[in-house]
A = this chain, B = another copy of it.
Amino acid sequence: MQEKLILASKSPRRRYLLKQAGLDFVVIPSEIDESGFSCADPEDFVRDLAESKALDISKKYPESWVIGADTIVLIDGRVLGKPRNKREAREMLGRLSGKTHWVMTGYAVRCEKKSVSFCDVVKTEVLFKELSPEEIEWYIHTDEPFDKAGAYAIQGLGTFLVRRINGSYTNVVGLPVCEVIEFLIRHKVIGLSLDNRRDPSDDPS
């Protein structure tokens, strides 16, 4: 069976975002080895990773439209990955406390059969409130920081950490939904059928 739209990411946050937007898709995570990508330029890094994830799955499903993405957190020119232990989580949250950082998501959309390949990077500024040591310990204790870049989830318990953002909110969660949907509509991957957007194959456009 040929899937029309594939999310090449195992992130439950990205899946949630696309579901929230009413899209019909399947999840087939890319298994590429990320260790070979250079982190020298953060923007190139997330773009290359997003592209490689989309390409990996595109090769196996050439008729499908595939979305790949990668998100990083940047502060003072330094990339914060996923904390491996409490010490790293504590260090990251302390660094983010009371300051503005950047969240960068590279996203790629491609379809082999149609020879369409697109890639871009969206950046959002995020301002954290000042965190007390007790707040940091409490948040670490919830276990939420451990599989998140920068040690927090804006859409989870970590919502209390974020005072304001400047840019795309969904980009901070893991995928710039406005931009992705705009692209999919432009290429008629999803339609605006008044019957049911969830089944784009029904769309006469």
What residues of chain A have their CB less than 8 Å away from a CB belonging to chain B?
A: 17, 20-22, 124, 129, 134-135, 137-138, 141-142, 154-157, 159-170, 177-179, 181-182, 185, 192-194, 197
B138 touches A194 (CB 8 A): yes
In the bound complex, residues from chain B placing their C-beta under 8 Å from that of A169 are 154, 162, 165, 169
Least Cβ distance of A164 to chain B in Å? 5
A17 touches B178 (CB 8 A): no
How many copies the complex holds: the figure is 2
A181 touches B160 (CB 8 A): yes
In the bound complex, residues from chain B placing their C-beta under 8 Å from that of A141 are 194
Give the CA-CA distance A164 to B20 in the complex, in Å.
17
Give the CA-CA distance A100 to B110 in the complex, in Å.
31
**Closest 6 pairs between A and B when the two form their complex, measured CB to CB:** A138-B192, A160-B181, A134-B192, A169-B169, A141-B194, A166-B166
A22 touches B157 (CB 8 A): yes
Give the CA-CA distance A135 to B163 in the complex, in Å.
31
B165 touches A178 (CB 8 A): no
A192 touches B162 (CB 8 A): no
Interface centre among A129, A138, A154, A161 (most CB of B within 10 A): A138
